Amino acid sequence: MSYPVPLSSSRKSADRRAVLVSLCMTSLAVGASGAMCGTFAGVDPSLNPAVAPLLTPAPTLPKGFYDHFGTLRSPAEARRIVEDAGLDPDLPAHYARLGLVYIDDALLQRGRDEFFAQVLGDPFTLGSLINFANAFGKDAIQAGLDSFDPAKDPDGHVSFLRDLFTTIALRPKLPTTNLWTIISRDLRIGSKVWPAGSIIETGADVAAGELIPVGFEGGTVSCSLCHASVDPISGRMVPGAPNVDLNIGLFVALSSNTSAVFLRLNHREFDPFDPRFPRTGRRIIDSNGATVQLPDPVAFERAVDDFILTIPRGGFEAAPDGVTAVTKIPDSFVFGEGGMGWDGGFQIGPFGGVAAFSNAVHTFEVNMLGPGVPGSNGSRAVAGLDPEVYLGMVLQNASDPSVRISDDVKPSEWLAVRFPDAEQSRAVRLPSFPKPTLFSLNSLVFSPGGEPFMYAINALAAFQSSLTVPPNRSLENLLALQTGAVTRGAEVFAAANCTSCHPPPFFTTGRILSNDVLKGNAARGRNRRVLEGNLIPAMLPSFDQTVPLPPQPNLIALPPDPLSPDTVTLPPGLDTDAGGYKISGLLGLYLKAPYLHDGGVAVAVDAVAIASDGGYRVIRPSGLGVPGTLKIGVAAHPGHSLRALLDRQLRELVVAANRQDADLVRGSVEGTGHEFFVDPAAGFSYQQQSDLISFLLALDDNPAAF
């Protein structure tokens, strides 16, 4: 997004000062000077001019302004835009007609409600297609009764949920970042069986004083399940902070139809016609009128479940591109970030790609039927799979028996007759449907009926844009500020030329860096290449129209990204065979370990010892990489993981550990790339490396203050 600087900065609260006093007492206990506890309240005016901006608070989203496709406009600027269009500037609808989105409390509150309390995607997906543990939409009493009946719950999925809910109800209202339960019955998922009495960790968070885990407040799965977490120091919920240890694989595999996600995995491993899957499934008619026997749904389901359970905590795969490229959950501190997504491919539209990115979650990522919609050619393009075969695979084992196809039908026709609005009850079809645009990859836009077009998704984008990184209240950050390590680290940051890609105040240029330069695993960075030559000009109905839209809605042509000539070509950085990745912002790094798009740079807290001169020594090699951390439910330590990002020798050990794990190799999790090291081989001392890490971990809402 293109935003003026500065706008405003967040301030420290009274309770923060209370924590400061407490930590000062801790400093005294370990021998630090308590007198230093008031000497770092802001940016030192005597600092080197090249360093001072690095320690200055970043601007925040101002209320009372307008977003105009990623550019903030003051009320006066917005008024001139409306006047120049020959419209009445005293009518709010005329602003909306031109794509101007007014940022006020009502919009932000609606976005907050969408973020915390509204179901992801379409109810048809969670209720009828994949339905975790077959519990969504079921009466709670009936589900409870079913959990005691092995005939109705043969694998113990509903029993597991009963145990989890019992734990939630009876546990003390203390904060946790990893809700767990002891199961009362055997639990079978795929080929794996947990015997009764086993501890099952979910990675779900519960804030202090709360009963319901974050992400389930509305009685269903919301955005906040992944994009909010609990601060272990304060016990408070932090909107926007990624849930880095969420056991997504467990939740997905609990579905009785996990196989519906198969196009998101390596096609060569999950080819429906692979001989290892008996051809005993439904008999369908494909696009050419030929009869096709689908694979056995039980065998295929088991294979998908087994793989999904190997995905590291905090990792997910949502792109239906026939390639497994596990990525970590991103944060939602999006203001000033530039293009959205790990590849930065969402750059156009309201809030500079944030609305497009949020829309993709609702209408594309959590959309199982889209690749098989007639005319989309999605499954054929990415996996050479006939769309009817794809739909048959998704439907033959649907969680709701009434949605399972019968034999000798053409799945698209069968679906159109029985469920014409499947996965589209809260979406608007653009005129380009089902072709892809740079705004919507399937020309669906999340926009519930009865309100202005895109109000909900614009509100969600505005709310996320309003989120700020909370203060880092760790003792380590307090001591780093006291000792001057943060300021020295800022000097190293400048000396190492990190600012060429990560300039303040948001510590990103917002651009996409070609993977020819970045040298990371290319699986995710080049997945948009399939769009080349297939993109339709990006247009949206104007925001003054109410859903359902009129037959001939007023359309707005979306302006391209400033560095792109149009909206039918991929952005620079994604237009080469190697693909690319967005230059990520660095604010809130202390909340985001492990690092890089695949979360592959991970080190456990007890794997490395730090010497007094800033050097390090590996003391537990098994704690290096994802196999020794997120894959087994062990947190990645932010400081040690950043050291592995910056030190080439430690990185080599981390990458080697990842590459020895066959599951991670299948998931394209390596921890490679970003070979911009700050270590002795690059001319920096270990003390400078440690100071740089202290600076990076201090990048919160006010890096120079505690």
- How confident is residue 173, by pLDDT bands cut at 50, 70 and 90? very high
Check whether residue 158 and residue 239 sit in a common domain.
yes
Check whether residue 82 and residue 178 sit in a common domain.
no
- Assess whether the previous peptide bond of 374 is cis (omega < 30° from 0): no
Check whether residue 91 and residue 142 sit in a common domain.
no
- Give kind and range of the element (H or E) at residue 418: helix 411-418
Q: Is the pLDDT of residue 204 over 70?
A: yes
Query: What are φ and ψ of residue 582, in 5° steps?
Result: -70, 145
Question: Is the distance from CB of 179 to CB of 202 less than 8 angstroms?
Answer: yes
Cβ partners under 8 Å of residue 257, min gap 6: 129, 130, 131, 301, 394, 397, 398, 399
**Residue 342: alpha-carbon gap to chain centroid:** 9
With H, G, I as helix, E, B as strand and everything else as coil, classify residue 454. Answer: coil
C-alpha closest to that of 261 among 352, 351, 126, 380: 126
Range in 85-89, 249-253, 624-628, 639-643 the model is least confident about: 249-253
Average pLDDT of 68-84? 98
- CA–CA separation, 228 and 313 (whole Å): 15
Average pLDDT of 373-380? 72
Percent with pLDDT over 90 in the chain: 79
Residue 286 included in any domain: no
Percent with pLDDT over 70 in the chain: 91
Q: Of the candidates 195, 213, 248, which is a domain's last residue?
A: 248
Amino acid 127: pLDDT:
83
Check whether residue 155 and residue 236 sit in a common domain.
yes
Q: Is the pLDDT of residue 4 over 50?
A: no
Amino acid 99: pLDDT:
98
Residue 636 included in any domain: no
The three-state DSSP-derived secondary structure of 188-245 is EECCEEECCCCEEECCCCECCCCCCCCCCCCCCCCCHHHHEEECCCCCCEEECCCCCC
Check whether residue 76 and residue 145 sit in a common domain.
no
Which ranges of 467-546 would DSSP assign to H, the alpha helix?
A: 475-483, 485-495, 515-518, 522-525
Residue 217 included in any domain: yes
List Cα–Cα distances, 649 to 616, 618, 653, 679, 681, in angstroms. Answer: 11, 11, 7, 9, 10
Amino acid 310: pLDDT:
96
Average pLDDT of 380-393? 87
Average pLDDT of 656-679? 97
Cβ partners under 8 Å of residue 280, min gap 6: 293, 295, 296
Question: Is the distance from CB of 327 to CB of 524 less than 8 angstroms?
Answer: yes
Amino acid 137: pLDDT:
58
Question: Is the distance from CB of 196 to CB of 185 less than 8 angstroms?
Answer: yes
Give the pTM: 0.91
Residue 239 included in any domain: yes
Check whether residue 156 and residue 238 sit in a common domain.
yes
Range in 267-276, 323-332, 371-380, 566-575 the model is least confident about: 371-380
Residue 595 included in any domain: no
Q: What angle do CA 140, 226, 391 make, to 5 degrees?
A: 70
C-alpha closest to that of 147 among 164, 125, 130, 131: 164
Convert the pLDDT of each residue in 18-52 to its tens digit: 333 333 333 333 333 333 333 345 666 667 787 99
Residue 86 included in any domain: yes
Give the total number of structural domains in the chain.
2
Average pLDDT of 365-383? 77
Residue keyed to tokens 């989309």: 376
Q: Is the pLDDT of residue 670 over 50?
A: yes
Convert the pLDDT of each residue in 335-371 to its tens digit: 999 899 999 999 999 999 999 999 999 999 888 888 8
Q: Of the candidates 116, 145, 179, which is a domain's last residue?
A: 116
Check whether residue 107 and residue 149 sit in a common domain.
no
Amino acid 3: pLDDT:
40
Residue 172 included in any domain: yes
Check whether residue 88 and residue 138 sit in a common domain.
no
Q: Of the candidates 248, 276, 296, which is a domain's last residue?
A: 248
Could you tell me the residue range of the domain that residue 143 belongs to?
133-248
Check whether residue 103 and residue 144 sit in a common domain.
no
Residue 188 included in any domain: yes
Check whether residue 138 and residue 239 sit in a common domain.
yes
Q: Is the pLDDT of residue 182 over 70?
A: yes
Q: Is the pLDDT of residue 615 over 70?
A: yes
Cβ neighbours around 476 below 10 Å, total: 16
Check whether residue 243 and residue 173 sit in a common domain.
yes
- How confident is residue 321, by pLDDT bands cut at 50, 70 and 90? confident
Check whether residue 85 and residue 163 sit in a common domain.
no
Instruction: Look up residue 132 and give its DSSP letter.
Output: B
